[in-house]
Amino acid sequence: MATEEIKTYSLTEMKDSYIGKVGTTDRDEYEYELRMDVLGKMIKSARQKRHLTQEELGKLVGVQKAQISKLESSANSATIDTVLKVFRALKAEINFNVKLEDDFVKLT
C-alpha cells in the first residue's frame, strides 16, 4: 500500500497564496494591521507591568479608559502623538527604525 506524501507550505507561501504577494495592497494592509495589533499588545503588557489599570493610564495620558482599551486591542486608530504619550506615561522607551531598501535611515 502506497502512502501519499503530504505537501507542506511555509508561512510565507500561505500568505502569498491567501493574502497576496509582498508589495500588493492586500498584503501591505495585512502587515500593517499585524504591526498595529502587536503595538497594542506591547502597550497592554507595559501597562500591566507597571501595575496600572486602563483608567489610571488614561488619566496619566489625558484620555478616557475607553481609548486605552481601544488602543490595546488595536493601535490602528491612534495617532503617533498618542502612542508616544502612552509610552512616556509608562516610562517606557520606544524606538523607531526607518529602512530604505537595505539601509536604515539615521537622523543627523
Distance CA 36, CA 5 (A): 38
Is 2 part of a structural domain of the chain?
Answer: no
The total of structural domains in the chain comes to: 1
The predicted structure's pLDDT at residue 105: 63
Residue 50's pLDDT is 94
pLDDT surpassing 90 at residue 61: yes
Contact yes or no for 72/79 (Cβ under 8 A): no
Residue 97 pLDDT: 66
1 within a domain of the structure (yes/no): no
Amino acid, single-letter form, for residue 14: M
Q: Which domain holds residue 86?
A: 12-104
Is residue 45 within 8 Å of residue 17, measured between CB atoms? no
**Region 16-35: what's the mean pLDDT?**
85
Cell of 87: 509610552
Cβ(74)–Cβ(37) under 8 Å?
A: yes
34 assigned to some structural domain: yes
At residue 27, the pLDDT reads 84
The answer to whether position 6 is within a domain reads no
Burial class (CB in 10 A: 0-12, 13-18, 19+), 78: buried
The CATH number linked to 58 is 1.10.260.40
